[in-house]
Structure 1
């Protein structure tokens, strides 16, 4: 089974591209979705213990947690030490299930793949990208997003140009879903000939 690492900076169309893989029958592990599930119960006590006032009724309040860690690298590292091992365990279970089902390709949707050194954990890396103005417009259209928050998130991410340079494959999402879908089809055809 070929394991694809799918990544890209905020607002580049990673979630949409992951969905394009799903529509083609490729199993996709969504790290953000896994974190949402973990915050809804299993990790809430540990997060509350580390960041008092960020969990109520057995679930993490993501807005409160964001306020507690945004702009504080030490706090962010403490949070990652809680979250990352649980996400990795869920990821391993996903890959085992995909392999036992005979999937030829499985996708790990990893938002900070390069930033967390995860490229060694996959067979090939796919970066989604779009022009900077498209990215900014997409992100600032999200509920609760501000220019300050967007800039803080970007500061934690490798520049798009560096991600593209390091990727095995790049999918341009700036030309719409149909063009991105065609790129996914071409990529899957290429992967049938071997990763990389």
Structure 2
């Protein structure tokens, strides 16, 4: 079974590509969602690292936590050291299970694909990019972030670029600033290029 890493910076439009892969029968793993689970499993460690303010009524206050870590690289790395190992192990388990179910491919939808060390699990990497201003407007519409908060997040993702240190790993960059119909065609062309059989799903 083929494993494809789907990555790119905040609000580049990765989810649109993931939806199309899913329509072709691929299993999509939303790694951000795994992060939410990892947060809820790490409440004690989070309180010890960042204080009681990041927990409200027994649950992680993600907005408070995000405001704290995205403006402080040291705290961001501390958060990642708590949550990323749990997320990586879950990805490995899901890849094994998808192989047993004979899915055509498993898509790891992860902005922090490289930082998390998920690239070695992949056969290919698809990097989605979009202009900065367009991504800001998408982020403001989706999450209500101010320009300042968005730029803090952008600064925290400067290492998310269409490059890889994994020898022999195929990386393709696609631009997401067009219609869904164009994105659909992009995915079909990409699958043809890497030899992923989806012809019956077109």
Q: TM-score, normalised by structure 1?
A: 0.87
- Structure 1's 66 and 132: CA in aligned 2 closer, same or farther, altered over 3 A? closer
CA distance in 1, matches of 2:129, 2:179: 12
**TM superposition shift of 1:87:** 0.4
Superposed CA deviations along residues 96-150 of structure 1, whole A, max 9, x for unmatched, are 1101101231111111223445433311110112233322321232333011111
Q: CA RMSD in A?
A: 2.2
Cross-structure match for 1:187: 190
Unaligned runs of 5+ in 2: 165-169, 198-202
CA distance in 2, matches of 1:35, 1:181: 28
CA distance in 2, matches of 1:158, 1:72: 14
CA distance in 1, matches of 2:31, 2:152: 20
SS in 2 for 1:145: coil
Aligned length, in residue pairs = 191
SS in 1 for 2:5: strand
- Structure 1's 42 and 122: CA in aligned 2 closer, same or farther, altered over 3 A? same
**TM superposition shift of 1:11:** 1.5
Q: Which piece of structure 1 moves more, 3-12 or 118-127?
A: 118-127
SS in 1 for 2:143: coil
